[in-house]
Structure 1
């Protein structure tokens, strides 16, 4: 929506036959990318946990 001082003008697009607005998004690519991002994030979390455990062990050894 665009607004000026005292008015609001909606941005309107024509919907296609099934009622959804035209989209340039490729859902199959987006879902595949999301799965990859989840896997990479899980690997990063595992690496951080391992680093945290190793640092904790090192500090326990020094104490």
Structure 2
């Protein structure tokens, strides 16, 4: 179970890296942002899938700051949830070892 939480944290880190790159290039002419989606793997983990957005041919950056900032909140909450799940599992394992000991 912990491995699926770690996998999710790693996937969300990739998403955050792509998101940060998009935000950093908000003033770069002709910049086409990257889209990131998270999908489940066959072993119960997750992976980040990155692709280029469709260019609309604009001379300005095509980064949508409202989307990027909203995505950052989603990434932050997902990471917090996974970290809390790992902490809870660690505490449960510790309690089990205390009972057994």
Across the aligned residues of Structure 1 and Structure 2, the Cα RMSD in angstroms comes to 1.5
Q: Pick from 51, 55, 60: which aligns with 2:89? A: 51
Runs ≥4 residues deviating over 3 A: none
Which blocks of at least 5 consecutive residues in structure 2 are unaligned?
Answer: 1-26, 30-59
TM-score computed with the length of structure 2 as normaliser: 0.41
Equivalent residue for 1:35?
Answer: 73
- Structure with higher RCO (Cα < 8 A, 6+ apart): 2
Structure (1/2) with the larger strand percentage:
2
| Unmatched segments (≥5 aa) in structure 1 | 1-18
Larger Rg: 1
Query: C-alpha deviations, 1:2-46, integer Å up to 9, x for none?
Result: xxxxxxxxxxxxxxxxx8632111010000000011011111111
TM-score relative to the length of structure 1:
0.64
| Equivalent-residue separation in structure 2 for 1:60 and 1:24 (angstroms) | 55
Q: How many residues align?
A: 45
